[in-house]
Structure 1
Amino acid sequence: MFTLHEIGMNLPFGLLLVDFRGEIQYANPLCETILKLKRPYKKFIQDIFPGSTIIKVIKDGNFEVADYIPNSDICLMSSSLVPGKLGGILFLDKNAYQIFVDNSPRVIDLKQEMEAIMNLSGELVTITNADGIVLRVNNTCEQILGEMESDLVGRAVTALEKNGVINVSSTKHVIQHGRKVTMNQTTKSGRRLMVEGHPIFNSDGTLSKVINISKDVTEIANLQKKLEETKNVLDYYQQELSFLQKTDQEFVVKSKSMEEVYELACRVADVDATIFLNGETGVGKEVLARKIHNLSNRKGAPFIKVNCGAIPESIMESELFGYAKGTFTGGNKDGKKGLALAAHKGTLFLDEIGELPFNLQAKLLQLLQEKQFTPLGETNPVQVDVRFIAATNRNLEDMVKQGTFREDLYYRLFVIPITIPPLFERKEDIPFLINYFLDVFSQKYKLYKTIDKEVVQFFIDYKWKGNVRELQNTIERLVLTAPTQHIELKDLPDKLLKSETKTSEIIRGNLNLKQEVELFEKQIIIQALESSSTMKEASKKLGVDASTITRKVQKYGINVAVLQFRL
């Protein structure tokens, strides 16, 4: 076996090897002379031949003959040697070209090397002459065509077609039309091929050979069919179990309490009954309201939010119910349809419903009961088809007792109540929310940050008075202000650190000996679990039985899933 250098030294033509980027990797002495190259090359083929197609040839696994080099009789032949990675260009004058195609003993060694490369691709390669007689075929022919190489060489492609070895000949089409063809083929064994036929021309423009490269796509076609069937099944289960297939990553469902909330929301999404969302500020009431709308059969219609606490009382009625033409001096001369009408066929989200002025509560009650309202300045009611979702962080029941909220409106709203628990009651969600917000703001600001596991643990232990919104704002601030790519404890705002330190000091000051021992034992178990992949491995490190670790984990309420997330 000859080395590449030995082969290149003795070739009667120039040889240039380039990689998939077009960077020159090797040039034999004759090629160096032709192109005036000096080592190290550090050049790209585009610098020498701007119109070269060798990169495409490498990518496609093709073989082609380009035009002659201007003002010379040198012809370029480009070939993919290792598809997708390496290609070669031969620089042939007329005599060398004839030597090459006539199988001269002077290039026997090179042909042996090319033969080996030809069989590396895994695709079927056949070469015929201008009359369609098979000259060469690589060693995949038996696997793909079901024919031995010796049974193919010397036969006409028309005979192969007639005998059913292939259903249609790409070579015949290339000979007929004198250009490259791409077509589908079926073999006698039922395999499906994607074939590219490439014409090779003599210097006088007459056809010399046809090279066919056939890719077996049988399995691809079968997989596409199975993929389509699987997709149909997945679509069905996605509809049936939509609460497990979250379309909004911000609404994280990892804790048991949030699973129950989300499952209930999915069950009632397509029911037009009014939903009442209750929870502290920042727990995600609007996110859940939008989720319910998107899961319902109204998802193609508008989702209209009315913030009852943000709109001034003086214009609340006109904003919600609209007004007729000429009702107000300085108002819209054509009138205004209002938010209730804008939500027709969709969902009207009444956020902070506890802030709705008392004098408007009766008119809202009419809208909920009769699905109609009368705009200001009008006498005829307007009928609408609206689904209602209301939300508040206030105790409406206490407001009813105090006389600041209508009892009949309260019961009309309180049809399907859903309470979203505060963040400190669903600590399992915190690591996943951190991961989500970190990704969102890294993408938004093009500042790709990572976060230390100590910070994650700090956030899990922290009492989030502002709930998810406070966590979201904190992560955004850290992405923007952390001086390095990796966010550490020292990067946290002083307000957070001081608050947590003060709480820890109070707790530590009230502990007795038994509590101190239990606290220390809990920390030791957590450290062992963090550095282990299984409970059994952690038990070995601590020198106790796995059952003991399991019992202690349950006793101290250690969330193993959260620890695994942090590993």
Structure 2
Amino acid sequence: MDLIQKYLMKDIDVLLNCIDEAILIVDRDANILKYNETFSRLTDLMGRSLVGMNLKDIVASGILRESAALKSLEVKKKIDMNLTYETGQTATWTYIPVFDERGELVMTVGTGRDMTKLVTLEKKLKISETIISQYEGRNLKMAGDGGQVEIIYSSSVMQQVIRLGWKAAATSSPVLIWGETGVGKEIMAALIHQLSARSAKPFVAINCASIPDELLEAELFGYEEGSFTGAKRSGKKGLLEEAHEGTLFLDEIGELPLKMQSKILRFLQEGNFKKIGGNKMQAVDVRILCATNLTMDQLMNSKHFRQDLFYRLAVIPVFIPPLRDRQEDIPPLILHFIQIFNTKYKTDIKLPAKLMNRLYTYEWPGNVRELKNVIERMAIMYASQELSEEDLELILNINPRQDSSGRSLPAPEPAMPVLPPSLPKAMEQFEEQWIRQAHQMAGSIVGAAKLLGINPSTIHRKLKKGSLRLD
């Protein structure tokens, strides 16, 4: 009991120094009564004797910029306050005033918690959120050693795909991108590479279906001098070696021969390989991205694709929906491609609203690739004239769809949109949508009017009437 009394009465400083939080006690006149070592470290006042000094004088002299204790004495009630010190550290202080039996203020006792790490994390989080929000716009551009990657979108479903790509870029795990032909799988792979820590290193792409089986192994793994007839004297680097510290993109992975699947699986498991004709294993640091237009069920249930390789490659599966399932992306894509091909061919394509609606409701079996080709075809065939509905039908049916036997299929019926309450309302909504999209693409009313083939006064008139908002 005597020992406890000793610590409580005589050695309270020892007790205060056992507390991780900063402690400061001042009397009603702002004279410092007690403090602990944590307070000294936090305020960078180690080595100074502060007991008896007046806190007002310390602040006035600039040793401390401000004090929560003085605020507590002023308002005479509990306060919470954040302070940042010259050391760069931030603390959250809580001061509680102490009163005597007559209600007179005696002193205020403060505890301060160092929040520097938390504040730093919050700042980093805000920066990350700002960066992510920049990449979630309708026009996402990334430039790197592999060239510029650009994704045009407006739909929430593509926003989710972009978010998943962003998360995938933060890892080195294999990614399997799947979706129909023409949805932009290689562009997504390039985006993941550009967003990753490997963006300054090579992005090497190979289409597994375009190279004969007997040459694919040499392309991927390379070969040593004299490995086979026709081999270069100096041998050849494979694409895995070319992609060292970067990314290798295997397109049409579902067409990979079984023999090569075994070799790729071994590389994924061990991280090394042998060149053709070589005797030693060679290690490389390569991130693998791959793509297929097969569904996951088709790939998993195929007798021609190893399931163990599928599970190795599909650590992060990314599905890109077909254009018909994300119609909101069609208007900005059309305007984007019109802008590109008007510049490329020095044309001035004009699409009446009726034809815009036809493009919007068309199924686009070839997805974004088909849409791009159609707009380029317009620019080449019709230059600066206004297209008619007959012209559009001719353009859309130049490459008719075929069934599995090669027979032409009829053009698909336009999907029926959800109907507004009346035809005038439908036309008004449609016009507003296209004007807003054009304004976002062009950045000005004059530019939007030029893209849409209308007079700028039309847009100004709608804005004045209040039937259109561009913000």
**Is the structural similarity TM-score above 0.5?**
yes
Q: Which residue of 2 aligns with 1:445?
A: 345
Aligned partner of 2:330 among 430, 435, 439 = 430
Q: Which residue of 2 aligns with 1:354?
A: 254
Read off the aligned partner of 1:239 and give its amino acid letter. Answer: I
Compare relative contact order (CA 8 Å, sep 6+) and give the higher one, 1 or 2.
Answer: 2
Answer with 328-337 or 481-490: which moved more: 481-490
Q: Secondary structure, in 3 states, of the residue corresponding to 2:301?
A: helix
The CA distance in 2 between the partners of 1:437 and 1:519, in whole Å, is 28
Residue 377, structure 1, aligned to residue 271, structure 2: no
Q: Secondary structure, in 3 states, of the residue corresponding to 1:492?
A: helix
Which ranges of structure 1 fall in alignment gaps of 5 or more residues?
1-232, 509-514, 534-562
1:371, distance to aligned residue in structure 2 (A): 1.7
For residues 165-213 of structure 1, give each alpha carbon's deviation from its aligned partner in whole angstroms, at most 9, with x where no partner exists.
xxxxxxxxxxxxxxxxxxxxxxxxxxxxxxxxxxxxxxxxxxxxxxxxx
Q: Secondary structure, in 3 states, of the residue corresponding to 1:448?
A: coil
Answer with 468-477 or 479-488: which moved more: 479-488
Read off the aligned partner of 1:313 and give its amino acid letter. Answer: D
Closer, same or farther in 2 for the Cα pair 1:564/1:281, shift >3 Å? farther
The CA distance in 1 between the partners of 2:468 and 2:313, in whole Å, is 42
Aligned partner of 2:141 among 227, 243, 247 = 247
The CA distance in 2 between the partners of 1:241 and 1:521, in whole Å, is 35
The CA distance in 1 between the partners of 2:296 and 2:264, in whole Å, is 16
1:479, distance to aligned residue in structure 2 (A): 0.6
Q: How many residues align?
A: 297
Equivalences for residues 373-412 of structure 1 within 5 A: 373-412=273-312
Residue 473, structure 1, aligned to residue 358, structure 2: no
Residue 484, structure 1, aligned to residue 399, structure 2: no
1:370, distance to aligned residue in structure 2 (A): 1.9
1:485, distance to aligned residue in structure 2 (A): 4.1
The CA distance in 2 between the partners of 1:469 and 1:462, in whole Å, is 14
Q: Which residue of 2 aligns with 1:332?
A: 232
Aligned partner of 2:216 among 308, 311, 316 = 316
1:298, 1:345 within 8 Å by CA — same for their partners in 2?
yes
The CA distance in 1 between the partners of 2:366 and 2:341, in whole Å, is 19
Please give the TM-score of this superposition, normalised by the length of structure 2: 0.57
1:238, distance to aligned residue in structure 2 (A): 5.3
The CA distance in 2 between the partners of 1:440 and 1:255, in whole Å, is 21
The CA distance in 1 between the partners of 2:161 and 2:395, in whole Å, is 32
Which ranges of structure 2 fall in alignment gaps of 5 or more residues?
1-124, 143-148, 401-408, 434-466
The CA distance in 2 between the partners of 1:450 and 1:371, in whole Å, is 54
The CA distance in 2 between the partners of 1:378 and 1:473, in whole Å, is 45
Closer, same or farther in 2 for the Cα pair 1:320/1:522, shift >3 Å? farther
Read off the aligned partner of 1:260 and give its amino acid letter. Answer: Q
For residues 496-540 of structure 1, give each alpha carbon's deviation from its aligned partner in whole angstroms, at most 9, with x where no partner exists.
3698996549x99xxxxxx9xx9695544312434679xxxxxxx
Closer, same or farther in 2 for the Cα pair 1:484/1:356, shift >3 Å? same
Q: Which residue of 1 aligns with 2:12?
A: none
Q: Which residue of 1 aligns with 2:160?
A: 260
2:299, 2:305 within 8 Å by CA — same for their partners in 1?
yes
Q: Which residue of 2 aligns with 1:53?
A: none
Q: Secondary structure, in 3 states, of the residue corresponding to 1:359?
A: helix
Residue 415, structure 1, aligned to residue 351, structure 2: no
1:369, distance to aligned residue in structure 2 (A): 1.8
2:432, 2:468 within 8 Å by CA — same for their partners in 1?
no
Q: Which residue of 1 aligns with 2:265?
A: 365
Read off the aligned partner of 2:227 and give its amino acid letter. Answer: T
1:236, distance to aligned residue in structure 2 (A): 6.7
Read off the aligned partner of 1:299 and give its amino acid letter. Answer: S
Closer, same or farther in 2 for the Cα pair 1:493/1:271, shift >3 Å? same
1:398, distance to aligned residue in structure 2 (A): 3.2
Read off the aligned partner of 1:393 and give its amino acid letter. Answer: N
Q: Secondary structure, in 3 states, of the residue corresponding to 2:151?
A: coil
The CA distance in 2 between the partners of 1:564 and 1:271, in whole Å, is 44
Read off the aligned partner of 2:359 and give its amino acid letter. Answer: F
Q: Secondary structure, in 3 states, of the residue corresponding to 1:251?
A: strand
Closer, same or farther in 2 for the Cα pair 1:353/1:504, shift >3 Å? closer
For residues 334-385 of structure 1, give each alpha carbon's deviation from its aligned partner in whole angstroms, at most 9, with x where no partner exists.
1011111101111100100000001110100112222211110011111111
1:330, distance to aligned residue in structure 2 (A): 1.4
Residue 283, structure 1, aligned to residue 183, structure 2: yes
The CA distance in 1 between the partners of 2:383 and 2:322, in whole Å, is 31
1:449, distance to aligned residue in structure 2 (A): 2.6
Read off the aligned partner of 1:398 and give its amino acid letter. Answer: Q
Q: Secondary structure, in 3 states, of the residue corresponding to 1:309?
A: coil
The CA distance in 2 between the partners of 1:436 and 1:272, in whole Å, is 32
> Percent identity among equivalent residues?
38
Closer, same or farther in 2 for the Cα pair 1:397/1:501, shift >3 Å? closer
Equivalences for residues 182-331 of structure 1 within 5 A: 239-244=131-136, 246-247=140-141, 250-331=150-231
Larger Rg belongs to: 1
Closer, same or farther in 2 for the Cα pair 1:319/1:469, shift >3 Å? same
